[in-house]
């Protein structure tokens, strides 16, 4: 089973949406994690609302600290603005998705970010599971 780690600084917006969308779309066929180099105290409320519109509940999720073990266990590591805070291991696939930061934005702006992430997740899923 492929393992994917999504990383952003606070693990309160982009990486949480990406992880939830991949988990939802892959129907359990991909092991998904998310983490942040400096985790926030809670998930961005506009992110929770935007995801709820798709039937995905993030209200119980908690931002998690990025660990070396999480990176080492993953096949694909996708960063979203964490820069040099991500450890690099040989043999891993690293991608950097340039995405707007949902921090401080309303749900309308977060929807656009969510939809951008969802498109990227769809492409990633076809790469991870081409025969599906």
Active site residues: 8, 82, 86
Sign of the C-alpha dihedral computed for residues 126, 33, 90 and 66 taken in this order: positive
Provide the token pair at 41.
């105290």
Provide the token pair at 60.
């119980």
- How many angstroms separate the CA atoms of 122 and 126, rounded? 6
**Other beta carbons less than 10 A from residue 86's beta carbon:** 20
Provide the token pair at 44.
């961005």
- How many angstroms separate the CA atoms of 32 and 45, rounded? 22
């Amino acid at each position: 089973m492929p393992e994917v780690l999504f990383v952003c600084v606070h693990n309160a917006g982009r990486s949480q949406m990406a992880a939830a969308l991949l988990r939802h779309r892959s129907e359990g066929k991909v092991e998904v994690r998310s983490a942040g180099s400096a985790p926030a105290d809670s998930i961005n409320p506009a992110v929770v609302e935007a995801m709820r519109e798709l039937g995905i509940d993030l209200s119980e999720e908690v931002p998690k600290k990025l660990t070396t073990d999480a990176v080492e266990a993953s096949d694909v590591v996708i960063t979203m603005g964490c820069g040099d805070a991500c450890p690099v291991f040989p043999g891993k696939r690293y991608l950097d998705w340039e995405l707007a930061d949902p921090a401080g934005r309303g749900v309308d702006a977060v929807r656009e970010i969510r939809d951008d992430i969802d498109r990227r997740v769809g492409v990633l899923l076809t790469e991870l599971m081409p025969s599906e």
